[in-house]
Amino acid sequence: MGVPSRSDDHQWSQQHLSHYVEGELGPRARHRLDRHALGCVDCGRGIKAMRALVYAVQGLDGLAGVRAPATIFDRVRLATSGGSPSAQDA
Amino acid sequence: MAPLAGRRAPGPAGTEASLIARAQAGDVGAFERLSGAYADRLFMLLLRLLGDRGEAEDVAQEVMLRAWRGIGGFRGTSSYFTWLYRIAVNEANRALEKRGRRPPSVPIGPDELRLPGPATDDPSRQAEFNELRRALARALAELPPELRTAVVLRDVEGLSTQEAAEIAGVSQAAFKSRLHQARLRVRAAIGDEALVTSGG
């Protein structure tokens, strides 16, 4: 197998940015991307942007105070027509 | 990574395994205790996927009904949580198809997103950050359902790739591909400059 060209490296790196920021690349693949990104403004910026994106989306970790509606088991209760089992449990 | 704080199995008084066995034997009270432990989190998932509270409530009821009807076939090859979440994702996708794959009529708004705030009181920095939140909400709402599901399960819910792939009903490789595509689209919609300066 020949040595990948710079353009091969670039395309490959762009396709693996998401896996890179998740730490899912193996050591050789990570090294390949690291080495390419050192000399590639696009990929260096891509890594920063992808990290920022994942961080921002991970921050959407809750909808404040959201609770399931009390009606969530209504269809189950209707189907079983057994009254309100949760009321018995309470 | 988002914590799994909302994911709590039933307590010692009714272990999950015993509740499953009782529910499979037709004990609807056991089913409610079992599934009720995940109800809040499941509802939040539906809100994120559907972006509409009324629709999320309707689909949540349907999810529970399907789970009740299907629990006899639950074999424990996955966790109950994974099984229930998979029903929820399928039902959400069904609802979105019925809706004609339109974006959510009421996307989850920036006020409901809980991004960690910037470590500064600088008003201009705060404004940039709020703009990022709005852009993120718009971009997520505009993703096709299967891509939005990938981002929500992996990045927002904080599930492992394996668990998220199982819930989405695809291989891990296919799930990773969806997640990558989703992130690329959101990144393109927001722009690298805004991401790095506002969110970094």
At B38-48, the pLDDT tens digits run 999 999 999 88
User: b/e for A64-90, b at 16 or more Cβ within 10 A?
Assistant: eeeebbeebbbbbbeeeeeeebbeeee
Q: What pTM does this model have?
A: 0.78
Rounded to whole angstroms, the Cα distance separating B130 from A63 reads 16
Q: What is the ipTM of this complex?
A: 0.76
User: Which band of pLDDT confidence, cut at 50, 70 and 90, is reported for residue B131?
Assistant: confident
At B146-190, the pLDDT tens digits run 999 999 999 888 899 999 999 999 999 999 999 999 999 999 999
Are B136 and A15 an interchain contact pair (Cβ–Cβ within 8 Å)?
no
> In the predicted model, what is the mean pLDDT of residues B16-20?
94
User: Which band of pLDDT confidence, cut at 50, 70 and 90, is reported for residue B63?
Assistant: very high
Are A64 and B114 an interchain contact pair (Cβ–Cβ within 8 Å)?
yes
Q: Which residues of A touch B (CB under 8 A)?
A: 15, 17-19, 24, 45-46, 48-64, 66-69, 71-77, 79-80, 82, 85-86, 88-89
Lowest-confidence segment of B91-105, B114-128, B161-175 by average pLDDT? B114-128
CA distances from B130 to B44, B123, B124, B167, B170 (A): 22, 10, 10, 32, 35
Structure tokens at B199: 């969110």
When comparing pLDDT for B8 and B23, which is higher?
B23
At A21-55, the pLDDT tens digits run 988 899 999 999 999 999 999 999 999 999 988 88
Show residues of chain B in contact with A77, CB under 8 Å.
28
User: Which band of pLDDT confidence, cut at 50, 70 and 90, is reported for residue B5?
Assistant: very low
% residues pLDDT > 70 (chain A): 76
pLDDT over 80 (residue A89): no
Contact between B107 and B137 under an 8 Å Cβ cutoff? The reply is yes
pLDDT over 80 (residue B102): no
When comparing pLDDT for A64 and B82, which is higher?
B82
Comparing CB atoms, the residue among B6, B115, B180 nearest residue A18 is B180
Show residues of chain A in contact with B37, CB under 8 Å.
none
Lowest-confidence segment of A14-23, B67-76, B126-135, B161-170 by average pLDDT? B126-135
pLDDT over 50 (residue A85): no
Count CB pairs under 8 A between chains A and B: 144
When comparing pLDDT for A57 and B84, which is higher?
B84
User: Tokens 């009904």 sit at which residue?
Assistant: B65
